[in-house]
Amino acid sequence: MTIRYPNGKVFQGKDLISSGRSTSPTLYGNRGMSLEEDLQESNQYYLIQNIAVVHKKPTPIQIVDVHYPKRSAAVIKEAYFKQASTTDFNGVYKGRYIDFEAKETKNKTSFPLQNFHAHQIQHMQYVVKQNGICFVILMFSSLNEIYLLPAEKLFYFWERKESGQRKSITKTEVEENGYLIPIGYQPRIDYIKVINEFF
Amino acid sequence: MTIRYPNGKVFQGKDLISSGRSTSPTLYGNRGMSLEEDLQESNQYYLIQNIAVVHKKPTPIQIVDVHYPKRSAAVIKEAYFKQASTTDFNGVYKGRYIDFEAKETKNKTSFPLQNFHAHQIQHMQYVVKQNGICFVILMFSSLNEIYLLPAEKLFYFWERKESGQRKSITKTEVEENGYLIPIGYQPRIDYIKVINEFF
């Protein structure tokens, strides 16, 4: 079942009842998983190995109506998706606060900035001011390349867009300002390795 | 409208459509607000004053059925409350990771440990291992006293319960192992002050 946000984007949350646990070992062989699933598996690996504690936040929902059937669980009968005011992932690595958003594009030559919302940029600015480790994970899915771009760099490109200039980050700019994240087996997306080296 | 979890506990999330923004200045005069609302206001104050960035996580929901009316927002038609596997609040203070759960009791002489779940204790243990600042905020609502109890202390009382001994923390134990949090106007619950002094 494909679930879509009001803006038409596909909802890929793990909140769906049929999605199961990302920790299931049978999933590891599954190629073509979503960026989000790969990140959740990586986080699970970090957790079990005592490397870091990072979780995806639940999808924010606005609840309007709830029913209470006798002798069974409360059922939400009317609710709506809300736009997140923060980023999707946060946690702790060696005492430091980590905060990031992950996005993917099928483009090969640039990364569209419309993937981010003003609220998220604002949140990342607050985090950077508090000296948190803040970044975005950008996946070029057609190229199978994943980059970690520090938030400060993203702010520059965001401001450029806000000033009426180009609405995306060129692939070359991502390469020059970001770090290629190794893709492996366990963890699938080893972003902590990049943090360890460059932050 | 009172919403209850399957276990009968009242749902006090801010996800309800009628709850409005906790940042509204008209709410500040409102006494008798919930612990959660007071904490959200405190967090909003910390955010605006660049003191810390702390948010409550959205309530986790398991979505089963979504409808897509033409020309209007997607409607969730069937969903259920899930039990949270982590704590409710996390964020960053001076680069450090902060993580906590807040609970209240009407008891005057002890704090029942049934307010916490094994999953949450496990999560707090992971956070402590990663050197995060982890604690619980315990409110004795009948006494109007709020304490910050470090996670390591909670683990001791949790283990005591697990070993078959008493199922609560006595008020005296909370006083001896925790820190009284000043209650004020802005912020209402100044837990960062306690962190600043004792962590």
> For the segment A52-82, what is each residue's pLDDT rounded down to a tens digit?
999 999 999 999 999 999 888 899 999 999 9
Give the β-pairing of B89-93 and A89-93.
Answer: unpaired
3-state secondary structure of B93: strand
CA A166 to chain centre: 23
**What CA–CA distance (Å, rounded) separates B182 from B84?**
28
**What CA–CA distance (Å, rounded) separates B131 from A5?**
37
Residue of A nearest to B15 (CA): A62
State whether residue A82 sits within 8 Å of chain B by CB.
Answer: yes
Whether pLDDT at B17 is above 70: no
Which pLDDT score is estimated for A16? Answer: 42
Fold of the domain built from segment(s) B3-198: Trna Endonuclease; Chain: A, domain 1 (3.40.1350)
| Inter-chain touch A92–B95, beta carbons under 8 Å | no
Whether pLDDT at A198 is above 50: yes
Which pLDDT score is estimated for B18? Answer: 39
Q: How much of chain A exceeds pLDDT 90, in percent?
A: 77
More confident residue, A160 or A5: A160
| Inter-chain touch A73–B63, beta carbons under 8 Å | no
Which pLDDT score is estimated for A14? Answer: 43
pLDDT average, residue stretch B37-51: 96
**Closest residue by Cα to residue B76 from A71, A125, A4:** A4
Exposure class string for A119-129: b at 16+ Cβ within 10 A, else e: ebbebbbbbbe
Window 122-151 of A: residues touching B by CB (8 A cutoff) are 123, 126-127, 129-132
Residues A155-187: tens digit of each pLDDT: 999 999 999 999 999 999 999 999 999 999 999
Instruction: Give B180 to chain A, closest Cα distance, Å.
Output: 24
What are A155's two structure tokens?
A: 């702010």
Given a contact cutoff of 8 angstroms between Cβ atoms, the answer to whether B109 and B170 are in contact is yes
A101 is annotated as contributing to ligand binding:
yes
Whether pLDDT at B16 is above 80: no
